[in-house]
Chains A and B, each alone.
Chain A
Amino acid sequence: MTAGILPFPPKVAISDRSVAISDRSVALCRHCGEVCADGAVFCCAGCDAAFQAITGMGLDDYYQRRLLDPAARAPRPEVAERFDLQGSVRTQPDGAFALNLAVDGVQCGACVWLIEQVLARQPGVQQARVNMTSCRLTLVWRGTAAMAPLLVSSVERLGYRLVPYDPGARQQSVDRTGRALLRALAVAGFAAGNVMLLSIGVWAGITEGMGPATRTLLHWVSALISMPAIAYAGQPFFRSALNALRHRRTNMDVPISVGVLLVTAMSLVETIEGGTHAYFDSAVTLLFFLLIGRVLDHRARGMARATAERLLALREADVTIIQPDGALRRAGAKSVAIGDRVLVGMGERIGVDGVIASGQGLLDTSLVTGESLPEPAVVGEKVFAGMVNLGAAITLRATAIGEATLLAEMAGLIDAAEGRRGRFVALADRVARAYAPAVHLCALATFLFWVFAMGASPGEALLTACAVLIITCPCALALAVPAAQVIATGALFGRGILLKSGTALERLAAIDTVVFDKTGTLSEPELVLLEVSDSCELALAATLAVSSRHPLARALAARVGRPVSANGVVEHPGEGLSLAIPDGEIRLGSAAFCNVTNEVGSEPALWLRRPGHAPVRFGFAEALRFDAVDTVARLSGMGLDVRLMSGDREEPVRRAAEALGIASWRARFRPDAKMAEIERLQTQGSRVLMVGDGLNDGPCLAAASVSMSPSTAAEISQNVADLVFQGHGLAPVLMAITMARRTQSVMRQNVGLAIGYNLLVVPVAAAGYVTPWLAAAAMSLSSLLVMANSLRLRRTL
């Protein structure tokens, strides 16, 4: 099959967002399944190449295997950005080379299969494994380090995006905790199962007439299994409890540890004396249940954090360094040294902080300052990573982070705000503070009552007091909070909302004020094409624009949805795009590039010029997110006080506030003033949710009692925010608040259930009626009840 060259201009009628074929039957691209132009087999040259590559390697099965998940579409290859791969290649001890990459575009098992098969067929590749959960690829090969770009491009031409990813030291230590928890869980499970088997024998023996010698033997075996298991599996709790006590605090782990250790010691004494009250089963099962909660909680949080990190890694781009001899070198932003000269082309995102050394750019600074309109930048001006150069190419001299005043100022403000923010005490800890002393006093009272009022011997009284401690051991109470949180975190994760902090849901449930940033948060993070009268010209412009990565070109192409592309489009850096057709040349680009002398309007624009037609102008401006109005209305409807604080000029802020119906808005807010305002609101008793994306919002995100940021936000803001949400809409803000409120009420119910259970059984225990089997059954039942109640959260969203 040969490359399908598209007839030009394409005979398609363009509606607002979708492409409708006017005649003939609708043809779907054989690679990605999108509608393609008349008579063509593929929608674009990239899909054609991907299809050829896949069938050429005999991997046609891929298209069948995709069908297992009909919703998933094959990714459409785009103009790939070149990354400096060799800087990330590691040499292994055995001489092989290894590379860790984050993969974008993996949707189903077939993608994993295809990527691994394609790489396995490349010469020298020893191992290629995609982790579908974390969307990461580990690649090991023999030969030379310089083979890396070749291997990576073999996958990239199929439409997947690969970005070097450094599995940081933090990630690995997090994983180590996860493994230790799983190991503890396994040991506790092993012991719980076996001890319970023996215990059932003992319980049955009560009615079947088991002799004391047999019972004591079974107790001894239980002791031998459970004591080492408790010593090992209880460590996470013991350590946390010790840590809390050392800081003169208590948490839920204190009563757990005290309970488990006391029960074990008492059961051992009973076993030595040949008595009947051995509670090894209860102690081990308690640890087992609690560890299940811990493992799930750790997993859910770890997954959310890893995804947030991957999203950031995928956004990282290389920078072009101008070497002293004038040669250009692409390298990762981290390898730029202070004083290096860096070239930033038209449409490129600035990767390092610096000072403009030459050239005059037009900078989109929305991510840094919240300013919605691009501003011209001249020599000597300071620029920051995250700005986008919409104008001609500029050269920077890289400066250290310390030198860059804005960034250093932000980091200082964030630190100060985090320091001032009061320590939030989670519900579980608040309950534990009251619970631990109450339970221990209860046990003491029982002991004193039996000794002085009933005249029992101290040994007998101690036994009853211990029974009180066992029966109140806070299994259900300790599960009440994590069980609900795990389910809420998982449900939010499925909606693209990443919950990074353990207490964020509780803080979110308590808010009464929502403060929004404007640029990039209420508005789309990128400029949007203004209304266009002629859809045919738009389609033509999009056909050219789809070949470019320039932000304006991408915004134009995005309006058409997935436009058809043409072969032979040439990009003139800093000027525009051109395409040769029989009667001349079509041009799309700056006014000068299209020979337009009378530029109208101040907003950024692209011009389209074709032979025999007057040039057409496409203007771009900031636009509100599609569901911003609806979301703000609903938030107000929930009784929340919605405010708008922006660093942008007054006019656009006022317009946005009026469109959204936000009465209280402030413009031209400097970051420190914004932060002070939020702190003022909080000292007045409000609890503030801050939603922001810019570098200038960082201090506010840190100061607010809880914070969210979109995944398009500046890196520093995403790191500070408690929640990160993906997608184009603002609905996640609403979803997160709803979920948080529901979770909070389920957690309260759970705590109520657990405490109610205790109120019910403590009198029984204090009266001395508790037997080992009753303790085990009551504990398991209360835990199951709490778990079942938490599962109801799954139906919330």
Chain B
Amino acid sequence: MNVMLWLILASLTVAGGGLAVFIWSLRAGQYEDLKGASSRILFDD
């Protein structure tokens, strides 16, 4: 039973981290120009 509590807690932490990163990237404006981002990766030097 204890093991399960830990596992649930761990999985929630990992998933919550993902959510936090997504919201950060949204605030940083990374979804404003999806078309540009796909070609920028080829050119940036």
A residues less than 8 Å from B22 (CB atoms): 186
Cα separation A330 to B32 with both chains bound (whole Å):
34
Other-chain residue from B12, B23, B33 in contact with A133 (beta carbon distance below 8 A): B33
A residues less than 8 Å from B31 (CB atoms): 182
B residues less than 8 Å from A225 (CB atoms): 12
- Bits for A175-187, please: 1 = Cβ < 8 Å to B, else 0: 0000100110011
Q: Judging by beta carbons under 8 Å apart, are B36 and A130 in contact?
A: yes
Indicate whether A193 reaches chain B with its CB closer than 8 angstroms. yes
* Contacts A182-B26, A183-B23; A131 near B36 (Cβ below 8 A): yes
Other-chain residue from A131, A183, A221 in contact with B32 (beta carbon distance below 8 A): A131
B residues less than 8 Å from A65 (CB atoms): 42-43
B residues less than 8 Å from A4 (CB atoms): none
Within 8 A of B (CB), among A156-183: 179, 182-183
Cα separation A187 to B43 with both chains bound (whole Å):
34
**The stretch of A104-112, A494-502, A596-604, A761-769 that contacts the partner chain:** A104-112
In whole Å, how far is A477's beta carbon from the nearest beta carbon of chain B?
A: 29
A residues less than 8 Å from B43 (CB atoms): 65, 109-110, 112-113
Cα separation A132 to B22 with both chains bound (whole Å):
22
Cα separation A58 to B5 with both chains bound (whole Å):
61
* Contacts A131-B33, A194-B12, A221-B8; A187 near B19 (Cβ below 8 A): yes
Other-chain residue from B1, B4, B42 in contact with A109 (beta carbon distance below 8 A): B42
Q: Judging by beta carbons under 8 Å apart, are A109 and B39 in contact?
A: yes
Q: Judging by beta carbons under 8 Å apart, are B40 and A109 in contact?
A: yes
In whole Å, how far is B25's beta carbon from the nearest beta carbon of chain A?
A: 10
- Bits for A110-126, please: 1 = Cβ < 8 Å to B, else 0: 10110000000000000
Q: Judging by beta carbons under 8 Å apart, are A183 and B26 in contact?
A: yes
- Bits for B8-45, please: 1 = Cβ < 8 Å to A, else 0: 10011001101100110010000111111011101100
Q: Judging by beta carbons under 8 Å apart, are A132 and B35 in contact?
A: yes
* Tally of chain B residues near chain A (CB < 8 A): 23
In whole Å, how far is B13's beta carbon from the nearest beta carbon of chain A?
A: 11
Within 8 A of B (CB), among A89-113: 108-110, 112-113
In whole Å, how far is B12's beta carbon from the nearest beta carbon of chain A?
A: 6
Q: Judging by beta carbons under 8 Å apart, are A186 and B26 in contact?
A: yes
- Bits for A191-233, please: 1 = Cβ < 8 Å to B, else 0: 0011001100000000000000010010001000100000000
Cα separation A613 to B31 with both chains bound (whole Å):
63
Indicate whether A68 reaches chain B with its CB closer than 8 angstroms. yes
Cα separation A133 to B34 with both chains bound (whole Å):
7
Q: Judging by beta carbons under 8 Å apart, are B1 and A214 in contact?
A: yes
Other-chain residue from B15, B34, B36, B38 in contact with A190 (beta carbon distance below 8 A): B15
Q: Judging by beta carbons under 8 Å apart, are A214 and B4 in contact?
A: yes
A residues less than 8 Å from B38 (CB atoms): 109
Q: Judging by beta carbons under 8 Å apart, are B36 and A179 in contact?
A: no
Cα separation A197 to B34 with both chains bound (whole Å):
31
B residues less than 8 Å from A193 (CB atoms): 15
Q: Judging by beta carbons under 8 Å apart, are B34 and A108 in contact?
A: no
Interchain Cβ contacts under 8 Å between A and B, 21 examples: A65-B42, A65-B43, A68-B42, A108-B39, A109-B36, A112-B36, A112-B40, A113-B40, A113-B43, A131-B32, A131-B33, A132-B36, A183-B23, A183-B26, A186-B23, A190-B16, A194-B11, A194-B12, A217-B1, A217-B4, A225-B12
Give A residues with C-beta under 8 Å from B: 65, 68, 108-110, 112-113, 130-134, 179, 182-183, 186-187, 190, 193-194, 197-198, 214, 217, 221, 225
